[in-house]
């Protein structure tokens, strides 16, 4: 028997149905329509009339808070329809004798239906008019039920699994679950980005298992995994070159990205010459099929504030034209006295379906960062690090940074016959950076604090174009179905770098490094008269193109062979300025690598429906631009290999993943400083990294999400005679643990969610020809609480380093050592529509 709030009426089938109806809010719908139209006109220059139907459908894609008590299924459905404001048509006998465990938490409507109906043998199917009906899930051999036509959804991905454990393309051109990839992969999805209020790529990487984040200088962050740098990046799967040491400049804000995918270990198959540490793929947000939007304001410690708008949906009646706009502004003081940063970003994308099998997608983005930046502290010559206030600023008062990034892309995706797909993507990226710094060089003399203050003027213009095309689909062989992917890509990058150095105009010295003073003096003699300083200028051209292929052969029901390879052609040309303006003495060079083959082989064995074991081999080959021997020749490329063994588990219909992996990386030819000739290098660095990685992620219980990882990594230099220039062996810690969790409370506390994060690491350090510096291990805790005071409105309070632990986050030796952030509080107000 249904609750009294159900009203019975006749439907066209002639069978009695019970219909639940709740009036929609006309004002809310009108506001949604107006917002989409206004933003689309302002951001994309298109005059669009957004229909009410699009706004009504938004409720099905926007997450809402549900609180549904356990009990008879009919009563639970009554509550769901009431709280979701939808029409639900149900054959009366379908729910007889069935019960529900209830539902508490924030979910999209499809997720709420899936959870509430779990184990009942029923599914909710959307009708053409936007209402829903309940139908039985078909089973093999079952008699056809006398109900209206059914839509088979059993093979569709679990909606909650897609949200908490989204599929990834970082190890494959086609979306795969982590269990299908014979390498270690992690994904920071949109839900985790929102729960922890991640601002930029650094924040996401700090929560990625096994990844170490090291600040290199005011414009750059380096990422390490398995003891080696992550030097390979993708935008929607397309290889992207990052200016040296400038990884974070590509994503100073995550506002325009749906998720961040990380593959740890060598990854050159789809990227060209991949780095040892791994690859990061930034997945852009796409235009949604149904209207949705959100707006958020955040404010907190050190005058921080951030405002963000994200809105999109169909732009015509048929839904074949869709758009999305994301805008962000932000400002905040940094922890060092007088330093600050301002960010702006906009992103717009349009999608059109000229026919049912083709999608055209294009977009543009522009980001700007201006700042008076922090700069790392020097270290003492005896290996000690400074013990000063975290607010200590030793730079010049006129220090400044400007970074501008513009990106345009276009792609066409075509569904072919027999489940094949082809895709062509073009990507254009510009990164312009300029910073002025008067900074305290080191190492400092103990007792006197005498160091080497100097001024530095850096400008970089980077222009790059990339094209990637591939086809992917199934084929049959020996009675089994297999998967094949093949394609090609091209990357062209032009960079112009200008560097000027000076000590002080009053010292009468023109050479960088010849002025010494107490760096704590009230006014170190920083000068910005760069017209009289030393000058270094060069132009760099890098071209890379290649063809690749990857096949997944199902050798037996439980066994899959993953094999692939890439043939790469690479060209680098460096043109320095004349002798006086070539401070580092860089010789001109024109280097080619022709037809280098890089293989990858893996096996995945399904132990049962939950667990898979895997083994893989990947190769390493990476030219080292900018590193020269004393004879003036470019040093040999880095070469190596990785072996990996592991086991992966997938639980609760894909809503939770767990994995354990053993790995070993052997590398040779790493550039090491030549102790006989300062400024030159030897290709003699040999290292071995071996260790263990454990990780778990997903929704373990309704309302409880968790992401956690532990890494043990032992990195050893194999040639002690020349390891003075091999700092990579100390940057990554031996032990690294990360955990982040969020829990939505049940019952009367249903509007509340609480969560936190923990980060614990053993010691890290730096070693070069100047000396050796070590920092102790540390642990930090974060916490947050959020309250949904209206169906579409929520507030939150977020605290990082809540115990206010003082520690060095990044250690770079003689100069450039950064403290971690002190305790920081951030409040948010967010609405969805």
> What is the rounded average pLDDT for all residues in the chain?
83
CA 649 to chain CA centroid, nearest Å: 23
Give me the phi and psi of 692, to 5 degrees please. -135, 140
Predicted local confidence at residue 244, as pLDDT: 53
- Please tell me the predicted confidence (pLDDT) of residue 146: 35
Eight-class DSSP state of 109: H
Domain 7-31+45-139 matches domain 334-832 at the CATH topology level = no
User: How much is the pLDDT for 731?
Assistant: 82
Burial level of 688, CB count in 10 A (0-12/13-18/19+)? middle
SS3 705: strand
CA–CA gap between residue 613 and residue 180 (Å, rounded): 10
CB 474 within 8 A of CB 418: yes
C-alpha to C-alpha distance for 96 and 550, rounded to whole angstroms: 51
Cβ-contact 650, 177 below 8 angstroms: yes
Q: Is 789 left (phi over 0), alpha (psi -120 to 50) or beta?
A: alpha
**Hey, how many other C-beta atoms are within 10 angstroms of the C-beta on 677?**
12
pLDDT value of residue 229: 86
pLDDT of 124 above 60: yes
Interatomic CA distance for residues 461 and 52, integer angstroms: 46
Average pLDDT in the 178-207 region?
Answer: 93
In terms of Cα–Cα distance, which of 816, 809, 789, 825 is closest to 65? 789
Q: pLDDT-based confidence at 288, cuts 50/70/90?
A: very high
**HSE-CB of 289 using CA atoms within 13 angstroms:** 5
Cα–Cα distances in Å, from 806 out to 385, 821, 822?
13, 8, 7
- Residue among 578, 647, 577 at smallest CA distance from 612: 647
Q: How confident is the model at residue 825 (pLDDT cuts 50, 70, 90)?
A: very high
Residue 727: band (very low, low, confident or very high) from pLDDT cuts 50, 70, 90? very low
| pLDDT in the model for residue 46 | 36
Residue 305 has pLDDT above 80, yes or no: yes
Please enumerate in sequence order all residues whose Cβ is within 8 A of that of 297, keeping only pairs 6 or more positions apart, or say none. 305, 306, 307, 308, 828, 829, 830
pLDDT at 173: 87
Reply yes or no on whether the pLDDT at 169 is more than 80: yes
Higher-confidence residue: 641 or 22?
641
SS3 content of the chain, % helix, strand, coil (to 5): 10, 55, 35
> What's residue 248's pLDDT?
52
Does residue 48 carry a pLDDT above 60?
Answer: no
Mean pLDDT of 725-730: 53
DSSP annotation string for 414-473: EE-GGG-EEEEEEEEEEEEEEEEEEEEESPBPTTT-EEEEEEEEEEEEEEEEEEEEEEEE
Nearest to 372 by CA among 426, 411, 336: 336
3-state secondary structure of 382: coil
pLDDT in tens, 749-759: 989 999 999 99
Cα–Cα distance, 404 to 365 (Å, whole number): 11
Structure tokens at 459: 């400008």
Burial degree of 412 (CB within 10 A; 0-12, 13-18, 19+): middle
How far, in Å, CA of 832 to CA of 480, rounded?
47
With 0-12 / 13-18 / 19 or more C-beta atoms within 10 angstroms meaning exposed / middle / buried, residue 42 is exposed
Mean pLDDT score, 336-350: 96
| Sheet containing 257-264: order of strands | 184-188, 257-264, 278-284, 232-235, 238-240
Closest CA to 369 of 252, 495, 246, 456: 252
> Which residue reads 């000027």 in tokens?
500
Q: Averaged over 438-465, what is the pLDDT?
A: 89
Q: What is the predicted pLDDT for the residue at 689? A: 93
Q: According to CATH, what is the number of the domain 7-31+45-139? A: 3.55.50.30
| pLDDT, tens digit (0-9, with 9 covering 90-100), for 762-795 | 999 888 777 889 989 999 999 999 999 998 999 9
Sign of CA dihedral 213, 217, 220, 226: negative
- The candidate with the shortest Cα–Cα distance to 433, out of 220, 714, 137, 125, is 220
DSSP 584-631: T-PPPEEEEEEEEEEEEEEEEEE-SSSEEEEEEEEEEEE--TT-B-TT
For residues 448-461, give the mean pLDDT. 88
Beta-carbon contacts of 14 under 8 Å, excluding residues fewer than 6 positions away, are none
Nearest by Cα to 293 from 306, 319, 314, 312: 312
Q: What is the pLDDT of residue 175?
A: 86
Taking the C-alpha atoms of residue 695 and residue 697, their distance in angstroms, rounded to an integer, is 7
804-821 pLDDT tens trace: 999 999 998 888 899 999
pLDDT classification of 51: cutoffs 50, 70, 90: very low
Superfamily of domain 334-832: TonB-dependent receptor, beta-barrel domain (2.40.170.20)
Ordered by start, the domain boundaries in the chain are 7-31+45-139, 334-832
Gyration radius of the chain's alpha carbons:
29
Confidence band, pLDDT 50/70/90 cuts, at residue 484: very high
Query: Looking at the DSSP assignment, which residues form a beta bridge with residue 459?
Result: 434, 498
């Amino acid at each position: 028997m249904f609750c009294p709030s159900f009203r019975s009426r006749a439907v066209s089938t002639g069978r009695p149905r019970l219909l639940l109806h709740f009036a929609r809010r006309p004002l809310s719908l009108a506001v949604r329509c107006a917002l989409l139209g206004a933003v689309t006109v302002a951001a994309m220059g298109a005059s669009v009339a957004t229909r009410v139907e699009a706004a009504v459908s938004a409720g099905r894609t926007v997450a809402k808070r549900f609180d549904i008590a356990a009990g008879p299924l009919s009563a639970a459905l009554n509550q769901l329809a009431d709280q979701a404001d939808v029409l639900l048509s149900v054959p009366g006998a379908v729910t007889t004798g069935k019960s529900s465990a209830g539902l508490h938490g924030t979910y999209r409507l499809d997720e709420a239906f899936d959870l509430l109906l779990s184990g009942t043998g029923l599914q909710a199917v959307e009708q053409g008019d936007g209402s829903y009906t309940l139908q039985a899930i078909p089973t093999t051999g079952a008699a056809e039920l006398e109900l209206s036509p059914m839509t088979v959804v059993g093979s569709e991905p679990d909606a909650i699994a897609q949200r908490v454990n989204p599929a990834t393309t970082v190890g494959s051109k086609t979306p795969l679950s982590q269990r299908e990839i014979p390498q270690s992969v992690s994904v920071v999805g949109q839900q985790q980005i929102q729960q922890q209020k991640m601002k930029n790529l650094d924040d996401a990487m700090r929560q990625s298992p096994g990844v170490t984040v090291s600040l290199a200088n005011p414009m750059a962050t380096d990422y390490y995994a398995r003891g080696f740098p992550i030097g390979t990046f993708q935008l929607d799967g397309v290889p992207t070159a990052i200016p040296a040491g400038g990884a974070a400049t590509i994503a100073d804000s995550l506002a325009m990205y749906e998720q961040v995918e990380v593959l740890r270990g060598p990854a050159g198959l789809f990227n060209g010459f991949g780095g040892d540490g791994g690859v990061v793929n930034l997945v852009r947000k796409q235009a949604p099929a149904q209207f949705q939007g959100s707006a958020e304001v955040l404010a907190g410690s050190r005058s921080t504030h951030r405002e963000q708008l994200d809105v999109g949906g169909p732009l015509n009646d048929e839904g074949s034209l869709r758009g999305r706009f994301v805008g962000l502004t932000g400002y905040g003081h940094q922890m060092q006295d007088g330093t600050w940063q301002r960010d702006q970003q906009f992103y717009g994308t349009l999608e059109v379906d000229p026919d049912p099998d083709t999608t055209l997608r294009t977009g543009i983005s522009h980001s700007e960062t201006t700042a008076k930046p922090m700069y790392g502290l020097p270290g003492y010559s005896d290996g000690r690090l400074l013990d000063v206030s975290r607010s200590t600023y030793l730079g010049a008062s006129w220090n400044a940074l400007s970074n501008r990034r513009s990106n345009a892309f276009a792609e066409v995706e075509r569904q072919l016959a027999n489940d094949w797909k082809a895709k062509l993507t073009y990507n254009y990226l510009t990164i312009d950076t300029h910073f002025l710094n008067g900074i305290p060089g080191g190492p400092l003399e103990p007792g006197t604090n005498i160091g080497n203050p100097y001024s530095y003027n850096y400008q970089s213009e980077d222009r790059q174009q990339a094209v990637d095309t591939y086809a992917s689909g199934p084929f049959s062989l020996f009675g089994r179905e297999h998967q094949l992917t093949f394609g090609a890509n091209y990357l062209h990058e032009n960079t112009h770098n200008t560097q000027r150095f000076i000590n002080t105009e009053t010292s009468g010295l023109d050479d960088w490094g010849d002025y010494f003073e107490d760096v704590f003096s009230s006014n170190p003699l920083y000068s910005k008269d760069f017209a009289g300083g030393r000058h270094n200028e060069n132009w760099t051209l890098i071209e890379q193109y290649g063809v690749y292929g990857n096949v997944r052969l199902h050798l037996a029901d439980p066994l899959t062979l993953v094999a692939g390879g890439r043939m790469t052609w690479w060209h680098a040309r460096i043109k320095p300025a004349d002798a006086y303006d070539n401070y580092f003495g860089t010789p001109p060079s024109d280097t080619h690598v022709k037809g280098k083959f890089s293989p990858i082989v893996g096996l995945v064995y399904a132990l049962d429906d939950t667990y898979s074991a895997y083994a893989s081999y990947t190769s390493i080959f990476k030219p080292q631009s900018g590193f020269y021997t004393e004879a003036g020749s470019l040093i040999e490329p880095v070469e190596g290999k990785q072996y990996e063994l592991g086991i992966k588990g997938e639980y609760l219909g894909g809503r939770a993943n767990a994995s354990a992996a053993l790995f070993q990386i052997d590398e040779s030819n790493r550039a090491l400083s030549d102790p006989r000739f300062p400024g030159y290098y030897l290709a003699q660095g040999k290292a071995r990294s071996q260790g263990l990685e454990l990780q778990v992620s997903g929704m373990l219980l309704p309302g409880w999400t968790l992401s956690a990882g532990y890494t043990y990594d032992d990195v050893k230099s194999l040639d002690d005679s020349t390891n003075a220039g091999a700092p990579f062996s100390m940057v990554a810690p031996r032990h690294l643990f990360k955990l982040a969790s969020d829990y939505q409370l049940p019952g009367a506390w249903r509007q509340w969610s609480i969560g936190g994060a923990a980060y614990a690491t053993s010691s890290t350090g730096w070693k070069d020809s100047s000396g050796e510096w070590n920092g102790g291990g540390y642990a930090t805790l974060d916490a947050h609480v959020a309250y949904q005071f209206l169906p579409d409105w929520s507030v939150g309070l977020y605290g990082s380093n809540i115990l206010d632990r003082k520690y060095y986050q990044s250690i770079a030796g003689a100069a450039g050592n950064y403290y971690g952030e002190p305790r920081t509080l951030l409040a948010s107000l967010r609405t969805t529509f």
